[in-house]
Structure 1
Amino acid sequence: MNRIKAVLEQKGIKQKWLAKELGKSYNMVNAYAQNRQQPRLEILNEIATILDVDVRELIEPTKK
């Protein structure tokens, strides 16, 4: 599971903007944000760079 949607909301950024910055379709970014599809690690790193966050902020921890 990823936290892309939560991070976008925290930063006040729209999925359409992220899609444009990534060069991906809105539908693809929406699938990532809704956890219907998980991005490859390269894409996750690119999203983190665009959002100026540590990539770990985009992933739900598996252990508490």
Structure 2
Amino acid sequence: MLKELLESKGVKQKWLANKIGVSQVSVSNWVKGKSEPSLKNYQKISELLEIPLKELTQQ
């Protein structure tokens, strides 16, 4: 879901990584489903992408 959100918002993984304070590899792993962001990072993504946290965390 994160990949689609980034594309729909026109956001690059590198931008998101810089804004959250994580590596681009971390964001890439989230996008690929290899790992999940922490709750704190989910909250930051929610704020940055202007999407409700509940919607972001639904699978």
Query: 31, 34, 40: which is aligned to 1:33?
Result: 31
Amino-acid identity (%) = 34
Matches within 5 A, 1:1-64: 3-61=1-59
Larger relative helix fraction:
2
Query: Number of matched residues?
Result: 59
Higher relative contact order (CA 8 A, sep 6+): 1
Residues 14-39 of structure 1 show CA distances to partners (whole Å, capped at 9, x for unaligned) of 10110110111000011111110011
TM-score by length of 1: 0.81
What is the CA RMSD across the aligned residues, in angstroms?
Answer: 1.2
Quote the Cα distance in structure 2 between the aligned partners of 1:39 and 1:20. 14
Q: TM-score, normalised by structure 2?
A: 0.86
Q: Over alpha carbons, which structure has the higher Rg?
A: 1
Structure 2 SS opposite 1:31: helix
After TM superposition, what 4+ stretches of structure 1 lie above 4 angstroms from structure 2? none
Q: Structure 2: how far apart are the matches of 1:56 and 1:43?
A: 13
